[in-house]
Amino acid sequence: MVQVSVAGASGNLGSRIVASLQARGASVVAIVRTGKTSSTTFPPTVKVVEADYASVSSLRDAVRGSQVVVSALQGLRPVIVETQSRLLQAAAEESVPRFIPSDYAIDFTTFGPGRNRNLDLRREFWQQIDEQPNIRATSILPGAFAFTLTMPWFVDVAQAKVLYWGDNADVAIDYSSLDNVADYTALAALDDDAPRYLRVASTTQTPTTLAVALSRLTGRQFTTKREGSLDEIRGKIATLLQQDPSPGDNLRPYWQALQFAENISSGFGGTKTHDNDRYGSQVKWATIEEVLAPFKSAFLARAG
Ligand SMILES: NC(=O)c1ccc[n+]([C@@H]2O[C@H](COP(=O)([O-])OP(=O)(O)OC[C@H]3O[C@@H](n4cnc5c(N)ncnc54)[C@H](OP(=O)(O)O)[C@@H]3O)[C@@H](O)[C@H]2O)c1
């Protein structure tokens, strides 16, 4: 039986990855933080290991005997670069041959550094992972998670507007449901031949098609709204960044959301080819209706 250690197992995505791995017959080690109480509960067959993420030796205990380490950690430099580095070192010292880093983003192999702080941190970690001679990494790139659509900088619910920057309301954007990302990640973890990058999407939409889908979902007339030019959003990001006294400390400042909006509006949010079919019918890809359905009340609630 394949053993998989999951870091960030108590998180939104991590807990789903644990459940999906277990459903597929893997032996799962759920790594949780020492001394941190969490509301996440695991089935009795999941081995829950408390680890001190500041200690490589503690992490070695948590990954020992596994064939894959899956990271679903969330954070900034201290987590994405520093904690994942210790996890990687622990995996290397325990001869774990495979590692799935906590990437789960738009396909940022298609553009260079300097355009998105959160993705730059992941790139920085890639330098380390790709230098490890005995560990094969697989990054899962599923586009935007569906719930990001409820963020006010992507959809203005009160005005029933899907927002975009630049001159094109028909730029493709990949969206994935959390369950699809979790299932695909679990399958990739169990797939010894998984390549360095796997690009997937539950659905690919444009601001125009999204407005149509939201109209169908809510019965309200959603349309697109151009927020400004690409130069304007880039200028806005630069100004906000200059004004931020500690740009490395806050996970979701407004300028970081705008960086994603800039990346997407520039055409980096939709990949040309997807690896959706790699596991056949084992992933039931959600349709746009299914992707949006859980958030119906959010699209209606702020309508007044
Ligand atoms: N593409 C998208 O649109 C999108 C959207 C959201 C998230 N994501 C990505 O998906 C991944 C997982 O995110 P999520 O939403 O599942 O995050 P989450 O629910 O906040 O879970 C994060 C996990 O990381 C653990 N963690 C946080 N800080 C830690 C630290 N300093 N040391 C050890 N463990 C720590 C948490 O442990 P505790 O439970 O103990 O706090 C939790 O298990 C991240 O890479 C995130 O960027 C992508």
pLDDT at 303: 47
91 & 119 share domain? yes
Render pLDDT for 68-86 as a digit per residue (tens, 0 to 9): 999 999 999 999 999 999 9
Percent of the chain exceeding pLDDT 90 equals: 92
Cβ atoms 101, 129 nearer than 8 A = yes
Assigned domain for 285 exists: no
Going by pLDDT thresholds of 50, 70 and 90, the confidence category of residue 132 is very high
Assigned domain for 181 exists: yes
Mean pLDDT of 168-195: 97
| Nearest atom of ligand 1 to the alpha carbon of 79 | 31
Which residues form the domain of 106?
A: 3-143+177-201+271-280
134 & 221 share domain? no
Percent of the chain exceeding pLDDT 70 equals: 99
Average pLDDT, the chain: 95
Q: Which of 17, 41, 48, 73 to mutate to test the pocket of ligand 1 (most atoms within 8 A of CB)?
A: 73
| Nearest atom of ligand 1 to the alpha carbon of 8 | 43
Nearest to 90 by CA among 69, 75, 74: 69
93 & 158 share domain? no
134 & 154 share domain? no
25 & 62 share domain? yes
Mean pLDDT of 20-32: 97
C-alpha 11 – ligand 1 centre gap (Å) = 6
Q: Whose CA is nearest to atom 10 of ligand 1?
A: 104
187 & 55 share domain? yes
256 & 195 share domain? no
124 & 245 share domain? no
Cβ atoms 85, 128 nearer than 8 A = yes
Give the domain CATH number at 103: 3.40.50.720
C-alpha 72 – ligand 1 centre gap (Å) = 6
Assigned domain for 253 exists: yes
> Given a cut of 90, is residue 226 above it in pLDDT?
yes
18 & 33 share domain? yes
Nearest to 204 by CA among 120, 279, 288: 288
248 & 262 share domain? yes
Assigned domain for 83 exists: yes
Place of tokens 């949010």: 269
Number of domains in the chain: 2
C-alpha 237 – ligand 1 centre gap (Å) = 24
196 & 229 share domain? no
Q: Which of 74, 86, 108, 249 to mutate to test the pocket of ligand 1 (most atoms within 8 A of CB)?
A: 74
Buried-state track 22-37, b at ≥16 Cβ within 10 A, e below 16: bebebbbbbbbbeeee
> Given a cut of 80, is residue 7 above it in pLDDT?
yes
280: tokens are 């056949």
C-alpha 151 – ligand 1 centre gap (Å) = 18
Assigned domain for 131 exists: yes
> Given a cut of 60, is residue 152 above it in pLDDT?
yes
275 & 265 share domain? no
